[in-house]
Amino acid sequence: MIKRTPEGESLRSRLEQSVKDRLYHFLLDYGAVRGALLHAGRLVGEMRANHELGPLETLVLGHAYIGAALMSVNLKGDDRLKLQVHCTGPARGLSVESNAFGEVRGYLAEVPIPVREPVDPSDLSPLFAEGVLTVTRFLAGARQSFSGQVALEGRGLAENLTHYFLASEQAGSFFQLSVRLDPRGELLGAGGLFLQLLPGAEQASVDRLEKLSAGLPSVGAAFAAGLPAEELLAEWFAPMNPLLLGSRRVAFMCHCSAQRFGHFLGALPRAELADILEKDPFPVVTTCSNCNSRYSFSRAQIERLHRERE
């Protein structure tokens, strides 16, 4: 993977943001509710830089990165998951993956997203129109993946993820996905929140969770203002006795490389390699859709791959 540095960012700022980006998991109401809180400023900033996104695309894909990272709180070992949207709207869809190590990668189907009028950040449904949200889990050691799917109905991905958990897993949940931009479209902060009722929760806990979640401020705005994650948990959830269980790092990460793309090119039929040598301009540039890293191959490298196919 080739990471691009967000424009205007200093090394000190990069290091500070990298330390802050973590996924915190906790319990509320003495184990009636489990939750995850994500600080994602660096994650979304690097995503934006690598994919060369404008403000609108940063908002849409940023929400998906935050959602996938929050859902990774339930993954273990080599487990991973994929969050996909297929739709008829101008965004066309997206695909984002996360794993138990806190690594997130993925892409928008359409960049830039073609829009004819300003979009309300609180209602992104016009960008998607009709479509489906699919969540696929790849569990280590399992013979096959497990998928669930729901129709897009909410104003944004947070509402659709809430609907997914209720419909596919019969679990009452709450999501907040927050990307904070200034009037110029510059990223100020990003983060998210995932709350889920556990089996056996009493009605009193359900009522407290509904009341609390309805009045929560913006996570992205809180992080943009410099509020530490631990203080946010203690202040916002004091009525439900928060218990922090731990945290782990989260990062924009893709394991693509020039070597992997070289293996892919080397596996092409010899006739196709010959066609590249005859017709394509050099260097040949390959692009990873998940992170937008670009790898160049010279004529000499393609000639070597062609000879090795004999």
Q: What confidence score (pLDDT) does residue 11 get?
A: 55
Q: 210-259, pLDDT tens digit by residue? A: 999 999 999 999 999 999 999 999 999 999 999 999 999 999 999 999 99
Whether omega for the bond prior to residue 281 falls within 30 degrees of 0, making it cis, is: no
- Domain assignment present for 126: yes
Question: Under DSSP, is residue 193 helix (H, G, I), strand (E, B) or coil?
Answer: strand
Quick one: 90 and 203 in the same domain? Answer: yes
- If pLDDT is split at 50, 70 and 90, which confidence band does 170 have? confident
Quick one: 289 and 155 in the same domain? Answer: no
Quick one: 170 and 297 in the same domain? Answer: no
- Domain assignment present for 5: no
* CATH number of the CATH domain containing 282: 3.90.1280.10
- Domain assignment present for 40: yes
Strand 251-252 to 284-287 pairing:
unpaired
Percent of residues, the chain, with pLDDT higher than 70: 96
Pick the closest to residue 69 from 33, 101, 26 (CA basis). Answer: 101
Q: 18-48, pLDDT tens digit by residue? A: 678 999 999 999 999 999 999 999 999 999 9
Return the structure tokens found at 267. Answer: 């596996």
Quick one: 193 and 284 in the same domain? Answer: no
DSSP 33-61: EEEEEEE-HHHHHHHHHHHT--HHHHHHH
Pick the closest to residue 70 from 26, 27, 23, 108 (CA basis). Answer: 23
Strand 251-252 to 103-108 pairing:
parallel
Mean pLDDT of the chain: 94
Quick one: 73 and 139 in the same domain? Answer: yes
- Quickly count: other Cβ atoms within 10 Å of residue 94's Cβ: 24
Q: What confidence score (pLDDT) does residue 143 get?
A: 87
Q: How many domains does the chain have?
A: 2
Q: 268-286, pLDDT tens digit by residue? A: 999 999 999 998 899 999 9
* Higher-pLDDT residue of 309, 302: 302
Q: Print the domain residue range for 203.
A: 11-252
The last residue of one of the domains, among 220, 252, 284, is 252
Average pLDDT over residues 71-97: 98
Quick one: 269 and 219 in the same domain? Answer: no
Q: What confidence score (pLDDT) does residue 14 get?
A: 58
- Domain assignment present for 2: no
The single residue listed with the structure tokens 């889920």 is: 196
In this predicted structure, the answer to whether residue 7 has a pLDDT above a threshold of 90 is no
Is the four-CA dihedral 94, 95, 100, 103 of positive or negative sign? negative
The single residue listed with the structure tokens 């709207």 is: 89
Q: The pTM is what? A: 0.95
Quick one: 176 and 268 in the same domain? Answer: no
Identify residue 243 by its one-letter amino acid code.
L
The 8-class DSSP code of residue 186 comes to -
Quick one: 235 and 264 in the same domain? Answer: no
Q: 290-300, pLDDT tens digit by residue? A: 999 999 999 99
- If pLDDT is split at 50, 70 and 90, which confidence band does 152 have? very high
Q: What are the contacts of 252-255 at 24+ separation with CB within 8 A?
A: 252/3, 252/42, 252/43, 252/46, 252/47, 252/50, 252/65, 252/103, 252/104, 252/105, 252/291, 253/1, 253/103, 253/104, 253/105, 254/1, 254/103, 254/105, 254/288, 254/290, 254/291, 254/293, 255/1
Helices (H), the chain: 11-20, 41-51, 55-71, 125-128, 157-169, 203-214, 219-224, 229-236, 258-266, 270-279, 299-308
Identify residue 171 by its one-letter amino acid code.
A
Q: What confidence score (pLDDT) does residue 45 get?
A: 96
Quick one: 66 and 141 in the same domain? Answer: yes
- Domain assignment present for 46: yes
Quick one: 244 and 297 in the same domain? Answer: no
* CATH number of the CATH domain containing 191: 3.55.30.10
Average pLDDT over residues 73-84: 97
Return the structure tokens found at 2. Answer: 């080739």
The last residue of one of the domains, among 219, 252, 285, is 252
